[in-house]
């Protein structure tokens, strides 16, 4: 059955509440590789409950995990992949909070019957206690089995252009063989990232790392290389996912700095693959 464009565009969820503590904050940081060297005092601030505890900005993608915005969407979920992730930080994330999330579908674009569809959604997250807006998330999913529904063909978010010159800086970070098993405890329990039989049925030789774990690893690279681990300097973090990572591979993040815009892409050391393209980080 083809997608119902009007129904899809009416989907929203309002007032969803979630609570996280410093435990979840530390678990997320560990899941994207922080704290591998327990003597690294800069990373320790992300994985240890000190009075000046810091939060990885990309943790914003998991603090409202399970939100219901796309509940009721008649999508072929087996054919869904995460295409893009966008994040705007209005304030640094607190180490613990109760939050309120309001989400809605903002776009649905038809790429053709044999090419799939793009579904764009947006979530605003507020601190319940203060009412302050903490962040705005934007996500594009690629619904490979849902093209040809008659929706608009143009107007999807335009990816950021990365400079063509040599990178101004690069950061090489290893992932662990068990990293997907750790990262999934932050919310995404998809068996694709844990079950070898499920991964094989999906066409992979073994479970793959979550795209959002790669996203968080890229943020860790920026924190380490460009802002001296100061999480408050990251104001936005946008990417396009382009290939999967297998846990245990090494992610190299290449960065280009132009005023307050830090462009970046991520590639693998072990094989010829770019896993994140069109990266844009706004610094402040």
Say how far apart CA 280 and CA 255 lie, in whole Å: 9
* 63 is annotated as an active-site residue: no
Active site residue 211: yes
- 53 in Cβ contact with 95 (< 8 Å): yes
Q: What are phi and psi of 92, to 5 degrees?
A: -60, 140
- Specify whether 238 is catalytic: no
Using CB atoms within 10 A of its CB, is residue 189 exposed (0-12), middle (13-18) or buried (19+)?
exposed
Catalytic residue among 31, 63, 147, 188: 188
Instruction: Mark whether 146 is an active-site residue.
Output: no
Give the separation between CA 270 and CA 249, rounded to whole angstroms: 7
User: In which region does residue 214 sit, left (phi positive, over 0), alpha (psi from -120 to 50) or beta (all else)?
Assistant: alpha
Catalytic option among 63, 99, 208, 251 = 208
User: Residue 52: is it exposed, middle or buried by C-beta count within 10 angstroms (0-12/13-18/19+)?
Assistant: exposed
Q: Pick the catalytic residue from 119, 151, 193, 234.
A: 193
**Tokens representing residue 32 in the block:** 């994207």
d(C-alpha 29, C-alpha 44), whole Å: 10
3-state SS, 208-249, equals CCCHHHHHHHHHHHHHHHHCCCCHHHEEEEEEEECCCCCCCC
Of the candidates 31, 116, 187, 211, the residue annotated as catalytic is 211
Catalytic residues: 188, 193, 208, 211
């Amino acid at each position: 059955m083809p997608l119902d464009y009007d129904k899809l565009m009416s989907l929203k969820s309002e007032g969803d509440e979630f609570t996280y503590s410093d435990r979840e904050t530390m678990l997320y940081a560990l899941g994207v590789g922080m704290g591998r060297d327990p003597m690294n005092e800069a990373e320790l601030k992300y994985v240890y409950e000190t009075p000046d505890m810091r939060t990885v900005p990309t943790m914003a993608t998991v603090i409202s995990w399970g939100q219901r915005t796309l509940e009721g969407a008649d999508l072929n979920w087996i054919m869904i992949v995460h295409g893009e992730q966008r994040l705007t930080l209005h304030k640094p994330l607190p180490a613990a909070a109760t939050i309120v999330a309001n989400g809605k579908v903002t776009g649905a674009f038809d790429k053709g019957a044999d090419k799939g569809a793009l579904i764009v959604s947006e979530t605003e997250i507020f601190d319940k206690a203060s009412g302050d807006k903490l962040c705005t998330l934007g996500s594009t999913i690629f619904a490979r089995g849902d093209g040809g529904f008659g929706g608009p063909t143009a107007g999807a978010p335009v990816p950021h252009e990365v400079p063509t010159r040599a990178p101004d800086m690069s950061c090489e970070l290893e992932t662990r063989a068990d990293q997907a098993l750790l990262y999934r405890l932050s919310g995404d329990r998809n068996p694709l990232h844990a079950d070898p039989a499920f991964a094989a049925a999906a066409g992979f030789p073994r479970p793959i790392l979550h795209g959002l774990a790669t996203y968080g690893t890229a943020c860790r690279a920026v924190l380490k290389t460009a802002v001296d681990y100061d999480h408050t300097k990251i104001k936005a973090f946008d990417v396009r996912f382009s290939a999967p990572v297998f846990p245990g591979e090494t992610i190299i993040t290449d960065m280009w700095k132009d005023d307050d815009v830090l462009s970046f892409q991520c590639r693998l050391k072990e094989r010829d693959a770019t896993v994140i393209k069109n990266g844009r980080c706004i610094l402040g």
